[in-house]
Structure 1
């Protein structure tokens, strides 16, 4: 028996598994072995965060905070003297603060999302606020990928940190960060442009 025949025999003995795949647009398919069937049910296209993450991480004292959408509440706005909120990919939660400056920048948490224009717009908002002695909270849905990538890019471009140092600083303040692989690659490319 050849190796290929032995592998084929073993493959035929494997049990087919059912895997439900949710695409970014919310559509679902079920994969059973090599068969793929479209499901009628739809979902959000992302994992819903069921544990509130209300405490923002202080990245730069009296200047820059990073958090999830849960951290954008009146208590935190008052407690940390936040004057500006940058919402990346998710609208700013409704807050009863008339003097709060809010900015929304559309951004999907997908590896193929181009961060250049997002970073450019975000950096202008953050740096303008900080130069005027204001305090900015940057958030996305979970405060893990999109907003973390924006804060890392800001540190690289405005604090002259390399990628590893900027990533390390943000990770030391907010352990759960994990920008998607596409964002990490783009941030590393940004390093060569900043240097």
Structure 2
């Protein structure tokens, strides 16, 4: 899934795990033939359509050389809400499509595990959580070392944990039946910049919400 956010490899056939709506195009006739996006979904509306197309025999292509750069959520609260919504969207997509990806269960099970562990103060159940914490620190240290940023090392473990736990909580929320009228509206500003090539300097920013 991280290939949504990095340029790696060559153009290849893929599924929705490498594709994301902010950097996605369709042939108009195929988009219309499949009925477009399911308006019951937000987010994951593109994932549901791509999944339908893939199971109907359509080819999905990921080309790393076609890239859109976008800003990320600027606050902890908005980051948490973003991945809470991502998890909810994945659960609702699963309910609509009736196709379950086992890997999608992992964040939900991890969230349940984290909530269960405090009820067993002295227990081997803490060992996986300790290993998870050490893994977060190791990955954060590697990324911070490449960026030469101590501040990144301090923040990254919390960012990773928020992503995993919020996504897991969103899966439970969606699976237990979130009502469309009670869904939070998308929030946060996104800064768009036109970039010449993958490494060229950005042009003047244009703000969009």
Query: Same fold per TM (> 0.5)?
Result: no
Report the structure number with the largest CA radius of gyration.
1
* TM-score of the superposed pair, with normalisation by structure 1: 0.31
* TM-score of the superposed pair, with normalisation by structure 2: 0.29
Choose between structure 1 and 2: higher helix proportion. 2
